Amino acid sequence: MRLLVTGAGGMLGRDLVAAAHAHGHECAGLERQALDVTDRRAVDAAVADAAPEVIVNCAAWTDVDAAEADEAAALAVNGAGAGNLARAALAVGAQLVQVSTDYVFDGTATRPYVESDPTGPLSAYGRTKLAGELAVLGASPDHAVVRTAWLFGAGGANFVATMLALAAAGRDEVAVVTDQIGCPTFTGHLAEKLIEIAAERRAGIFHAAAAGHCSRHEFAQAIFAATGYDVRVSATTSAAQARAAARPAWSVLASERDPQPLPPWADGLSAYLALAPIAVQR
């Protein structure tokens, strides 16, 4: 399989390129500096040159709070950029696999969200990612959208790295919210699932997040317990830690289309810690 990965410089993009090569696929990765997905002509040229069978789009505006201040800029990347790739893929007979997010939901559910549940984003980021989903599937029903949640991986900013950096700097207490529940998902595990979806040319919407769920507070406790740091995790709420963008309170994803979920989030944490550049306390 010939793959093209956009956003290849990010956590997920790097893991995806590595996973593709490990499985014997031909894979080209384009970082943001090499391809601006908002430039339609550049996208058309890059896709025509690579002649892929499948494109996996990991390029995204991921600064959730900054999107509130500049939704148009976020939409250019997450919405129009995804649409540019979808149309370019169609022109060369390739499939696009678009990576999306739990933030397309409003977080008011009492059970895991599945693919057929209605969307209702709370934030500019969520709205722009939903626009990308619609652009991709509107270009071709043979394209795929893969929603995931709470990503963490080596070589990029993420919740686990933030907690470990605070501990390494000598913090003995951190306040973490108890009212955000989700599925912390290791990018190495998600990359394997994306390769599977691409190889099988699955179409439509899929959910791919770690099995199980926890609160941010519980996740932080697990991080420190696994690394031996003596850091107290005090409880706080989303209201007390006011942010520019609203976060869904319930971000638990499950799939009604895929019988094989990703490994549990605790397994993902263990896999990440084996790779993390920050030394842990044993």
Identify the H or E element spanning 159: helix 159-168
Q: Which tokens is 82 given?
A: 């995804």
CB atoms near residue 113 (< 10 Å): 25
Q: Is 40 helix (H, G, I), strand (E, B) or coil?
A: helix
Burial of 47 (0-12, 13-18, 19+ CB in 10 A): buried
Handedness of CA 174, 180, 181, 182 (dihedral sign): negative
Enumerate helices (H) and strands (E) in the chain, giving the number of each. Answer: 10, 15
Query: Are 275 and 165 spatial neighbours (Cβ–Cβ below 8 Å)?
Result: no
Query: Are 182 and 158 spatial neighbours (Cβ–Cβ below 8 Å)?
Result: no
6, β-bridge pairs: 30, 57
113: nearest Cα among 5, 6, 255: 255
Query: Are 209 and 248 spatial neighbours (Cβ–Cβ below 8 Å)?
Result: no
Burial of 170 (0-12, 13-18, 19+ CB in 10 A): exposed
Active site residues: 125
HSE of 185 in the Cβ direction (CA atoms, 13 Å)? 30
Identify the H or E element spanning 227: helix 216-227
Query: Are 269 and 186 spatial neighbours (Cβ–Cβ below 8 Å)?
Result: yes
